[in-house]
Amino acid sequence: MDPTKFRPSSSHDGGVTTTNAGAPVWNDNEALTVGPRGPILLEDYHLIEKVAHFARERIPERVVHARGASAKGFFECTHDVSDLTCADFLRGPGARTPVIVRFSTVIHERGSPETIRDPRGFAVKFYTREGNWDLLGNNFPVFFIRDGIKFPDVIHAFKPNPRSHVQEYWRVFDFLSHHPESLHTFFFLFDDVGVPADYRHMEGFGVNTYTFVNKAGKASYVKFHWKPTCGVRCIRTDEEAALVGGRNHSHATQDLYDSIAAGSFPEWQLLVQVMDPDTEDQYDFDPLDDTKTWPEDLLPLRPVGRLVLDRNVDNFFNENEQLAFGPGLVVPGIYYSDDKMLQCRVFAYADTQRYRLGPNYLMLPVNAPRCAHHNNHYDGAMNFMHRDEEGEGHHQEAQRLPAARGEVPVLGRRQAGAVRPEVRRLAGAPKGQPGAEIDLDRPALEVRRVAGEEDRHPPQRQAKHVKIYGVRPSSPLLIQRAITRASGRTPEID
């Protein structure tokens, strides 16, 4: 079922004001009272619904990156990168993929000014034909820490003092001075790029090291870079920042919205630095350490495509507040690496979003894939996906899905194995799943034990019981095989 098909499109569609249940409302201007003044009656259902709904308008804001703005557009592959990745959306020059992008500040609240000295988030959701790929980067190429276990600590140092709720830089410097690996990012933050002029004139970096996997299963480490075609612009002095932010504390959101509305579409080029994992020991830095950049003279930038934002969001709440990105969302041809920050991030985002938006957050229209998706997850709060399409062979079909890609690495062991030699070495049947024969042998022994040698008809007896459950024609095949194995006789189940 198309999840958006039966969605009420807008509260302004109908000619009359109604309750959420669709019934016309007698008066949307005055509460129902006993006399001309009051008291107000509890039976004014519409009043209660209206005020109660208002009281619940806010959802928890993101614990970081709460302040942000988004826009929609497309990504176009401009260069052949098939030697690096089998990702379908990078199948060749000209391939276009719809995207939504969210820019953000990191530390302060949902309504905070956009002129503060703070890294900026640059998150892109690619709605590819093989699922959504999220690339969540920042405007600096490096991060303060290299191990996700320190992430809450660095964020707490930057967040307002828990006593006063005022950001105090001594707390920041206290943290940074104890973590020398943070110096690199510190230099970006306190340089001129520390306060970007707006979101359109910002670079973006994947920061963490990802892996491309090509059709042959060859893995390459990659770093992603976004370069704005209109150049980089920053607010150079704190005085200017105070002026811009003082006049309009949403200046970057407005700049993005106005320029797209005026037809001046922001554009970025996507480039990658590529490293063969077999050569990583040649470098004097760890390529999986996100506090380090990769020297561009040794590992040059290679163009991949372009990103164009040509549509504003239709509704800020739906397409910004309910928008959920996560580094865990990859597609065949793109995988994680053993970068310890990235490993932690793969878990953290889906975890926070299950809390922030609920377990079915990926069903929200802005987060849902645009391709067919199919699994065995059921129900949960706010589920609005129909699960009535299940039919014969449902489970078998779910098992078969990855084969649609033939020998191309897809998520799971094959793609993980391409990335890590040790996983590749160990690849094969995972322990505990040794193959169907043992699964048949055990019940066979059991049937003989229970039935005893004198019982000559165990198969027919089981077949009879199975039949009572009204199974469909193809279902008993496995049961039939198991019983046959147990007794040497093939039962009849029709």
**Which residue numbers are catalytic?**
65, 138
Site for ligand HEM in 380-409 (CB under 6 A): none
Q: By CB under 6 A, which span of 58-66, 190-198, 397-405, 452-460 interacts with ligand HEM?
A: 58-66
Stretch that binds ligand HEM, among 77-85, 274-282, 345-353, 467-475 (CB under 6 A): 345-353
The binder of ligand HEM chosen from 341, 363, 364, 493 (CB under 6 A) = 341
Q: Which of 86, 124, 136, 222: binder of ligand HEM (CB under 6 A)?
A: 136
Stretch that binds ligand HEM, among 125-133, 163-171, 220-228, 347-355 (CB under 6 A): 347-355
Q: Rule CB under 6 A: choose which of 348, 371, 411, 466 binds ligand HEM.
A: 348
Per-residue binding letters, 285-304, with ligand HEM (x by CB under 6 A): -----x--------------
Residue 137 is a binding residue for ligand HEM (CB under 6 A): yes
Question: By CB under 6 A, which span of 132-140, 172-180, 305-313, 445-453 interacts with ligand HEM?
Answer: 132-140
CB-nearer residue toward ligand HEM: 251 or 345: 345
**Residue from the set 91, 356, 405, 467 that interacts with ligand HEM by CB under 6 A:** 356
Identify the residue among 77, 81, 100, 123 touching ligand HEM (CB under 6 A). Answer: 123
Give the x-and-dash track for 183-212 against ligand HEM (CB under 6 A): ------------------------xx----
Q: Is 151 in the site for ligand HEM (CB under 6 A)?
A: yes
For residue 29, the minimal CB distance to ligand HEM (Å) is 38
Residues in the interface with ligand HEM (CB under 6 A) total 29
Residue 97 or 139: which CB sits closer to ligand HEM? 139
For position 141 contacting ligand HEM by CB under 6 A, the verdict is no
User: How would you write the chain as a 3-class SS string?
Assistant: CCCCCCCCCCCCCCCCCECCCCCECCCCCCCCECCCCCCECCCCHHHHHHHHHHHCCCCCCCCCCCCEEEEEEEEEECCCCCCCCCCHHHCCCCCEEEEEEEEEECCCCCCCCCCCCCCEEEEEEEEEECEEEEEEEECCCCCCCCCHHHHHHHHHHHCCCCCCCCCCHHHHHHHHHCCHHHHHHHHHHCCHHHCECCCCCCCEECCCCEEEECCCCCEEEEEEEEEECCCCCECCCHHHHHHHHHHCCCHHHHHHHHHHHCCCCCEEEEEEEEECHHHHHHCCCCCCCCCCCCCCCCCCCEEEEEEEEEEECCCHHHHHHCCCCCCCCCCCCEECCCCHHHHHHHHHHHHHHHHHCCCCHHHCCCCCCCCCCCCCCCCCCCCCCCCCCCCCCHHHHHHHHHHHHCCCCCCCHHHHHHHCHHHHHHCCCCCCCCCHHHHHHHHHHHHHHHHCCCCCCHHHHHHHHHHHCCCCCCCCHHHHHHHHHHHCCCCCCC
Shortest Å distance, C-beta 59 to ligand HEM: 10
The answer to the question of residue 68 lying near ligand HEM (CB under 6 A) is yes
Q: Are residues 189 and 117 in contact, defined by beta-carbon separation less than 8 angstroms?
A: yes
One residue of 133, 325, 335, 336 binding ligand HEM per CB under 6 A: 325
- Interacting residues with ligand HEM (CB under 6 A): 62-65, 68, 102, 104, 121, 123, 136-138, 143, 148, 151, 207-208, 290, 323-325, 341, 344-345, 348-349, 352-353, 356
